Amino acid sequence: MIRKRAGSLRETGRFLLFLMLNSYLKSTFAASKKTRNLSQLAKAHLALLAVALIYGGNYTIAKEVMSGGYLQPFAFIMLRVIAGLLLFSGFHRLFVRELVERKDLAYLALCGFFGIAANQMLFFAGLNLTRPINASLIMTTTPILVLVVSAIMLGERITGRKIAGISLGALGAGLLIAYGERFSFGGEQFWGDLMVFLNATAFGIYLVLVKRMMTRYQAITVVKWAFLFGSLFVLPFGMPQLLHTSWSTFTPAIILAVAYVLICTTFLAYLFNAFALSVVNASVVSIYIYLQPLFASLIALAFAKDELNAVKLIAGGMIFVGVYLVSNIQLGKKRVQKPDNT
């Protein structure tokens, strides 16, 4: 009888020990998973900040190359596409070596068409026919387009918080861009404005298309294939201009500016955007576009090419609040946005 009780107590003790250990392992796993999710979310937002900063600097740096006549628009795009394809292919071969299914090739071709070819060529062609102020203001429609396309193609919910954030960000970006400038959306600039709007639409569609591929493949794999197909679409337009480029006229400063565009604006910006899309939804990625004119102004201030005033401070505050609302980061609370894997 005593032996039976002792055996029963041992069994009970083992069972309780098992329950405690099981509970501890579950809580530890949940905590580590939450930490990983939070870490990935933080990395995604840092990547998007880096993209906005890169594009903010690109306005000043790339302008030197274009205005000096060193590279024609489509030649510059062809060079960017070639550099992007080589860099992404090299990194993919060294670190990933991931294969894609044949059924996804058509989808990746669409990513290349909208995100690489149409996106870049329409912008440069439109910019040649309209004013920079018009182009900058039209580009602020991108987050709105992304929100609509995401709702149609991915079933993403359009919440009041997102609408408020996008609206506030658009107002801040518009105020920052248009302050002290004269702009018009009529006359001879109509076709240029239309091309820039189509560029914004193409980029919005690309963000939604590539988001779906991020659930199946790694970021480098997706962007590598997008650049491969994109290069085929750009080739007939860009290669003739690239072959007529006078490389001997390039100064060291221009070479550095081109290198910045190829490495930072092309390789890093597309890579960071793709990584962010694997963690957050497309509307969050698009809202960071509003930070680009803000960072462009800050860079101009750093080089003493602009002045700080109350309008720019108010516009900057509106943009940051808009980004915060759409990003759905809960400050001072335990709840944080979960990585979106849909």
Return the closest-CA partner of residue 214 out of 145, 111, 120: 111
* pLDDT value at residue 18: 46
Residue partners of 134: CB distance under 8 A and separation at least 6: 183, 184, 185, 189, 192, 193, 196
Say if residue 337's pLDDT is above 70: no
241-250 confidence digits (pLDDT tens): 999 999 999 9
53-70 confidence digits (pLDDT tens): 888 777 667 767 877 788
- How many Å apart are CA 203 and CA 206, to the nearest integer? 5
- How many Å apart are CA 9 and CA 272, to the nearest integer? 58
Say if residue 169's pLDDT is above 50: yes
Say if residue 86's pLDDT is above 80: yes
Residue partners of 14: CB distance under 8 A and separation at least 6: none
pTM of the model: 0.73
Q: DSSP of 48-74, one letter per residue?
A: HHHHHHHHHHHHHHHHHHHHTTSS-HH
Q: DSSP of 114-148, one letter per residue?
A: IIIIIHHHHHHHHHTTS-HHHHHHHHTTHHHHHHH
Of all residues in the chain, the percent with pLDDT exceeding 90 is 27
Higher pLDDT, 85 or 179: 85
248-276 confidence digits (pLDDT tens): 999 999 999 999 999 999 999 999 988 89
Confidence band for 142, pLDDT divided at 50, 70 and 90: confident
Confidence band for 125, pLDDT divided at 50, 70 and 90: confident
- How many Å apart are CA 311 and CA 179, to the nearest integer? 8
219-230 confidence digits (pLDDT tens): 899 999 999 999
